[in-house]
Amino acid sequence: MGLLDNLAGGALGQLLGGKSGGSSSMATKLLPVVLGMLASKGASGGLGSLGGLLGKFQSAGLSSQADSWVGQGENQSLDAGHVRQAFSDDELDDIANQAGVSRDEAAGGLADLIPGLVDGLTPEGSVPDDNSLQGRITDIGKMFGG
């Protein structure tokens, strides 16, 4: 239960429980979509892994931010503009449609969600192997009704 405790007490727990209703509601809508993308290997719209998600931000010139979420130090924040750098309009539209929100809401919500989610998925300060990641994704999904 260590990961779940870390998430509940960490940045993701704060995001879903400690922010205003709008932010929490947006994170609740986006979390299952992002977890599904992380778990989808080679599927349409799937990132295939946590490394795939991090690679999007690294390719967009946001390596410092991405590295901070994995590392043991403080997480650097994102804003909606950073998310738009990393994801194409089509990708954001797909995420927004799955979550039932607008593209702008999706970009802002992802900016709030991703740093805490990545931090929660990497509690040891490194990207887990695929089997460990899948287990963590399943645990998070169960924790939030998935």
Domains of the chain and CATH, by start: 2-143 (1.10.10.690)
Look at residue 1 in the predicted model and tell me its pLDDT. Answer: 44
- Helix, strand, or coil (residue 79): coil
Read off the pLDDT of residues 74-114 as tens digits, 9 standing for 90 and up.
999 999 999 999 999 999 999 999 999 999 999 999 999 99
pTM of the model as a whole:
0.79
- Residue spans of the chain under pLDDT 50: 1, 4-12, 14-22, 42-44
Look at residue 12 in the predicted model and tell me its pLDDT. Answer: 47
Helix-, strand-, coil-residue percentages of the chain, each rounded to 5: 70, 0, 30
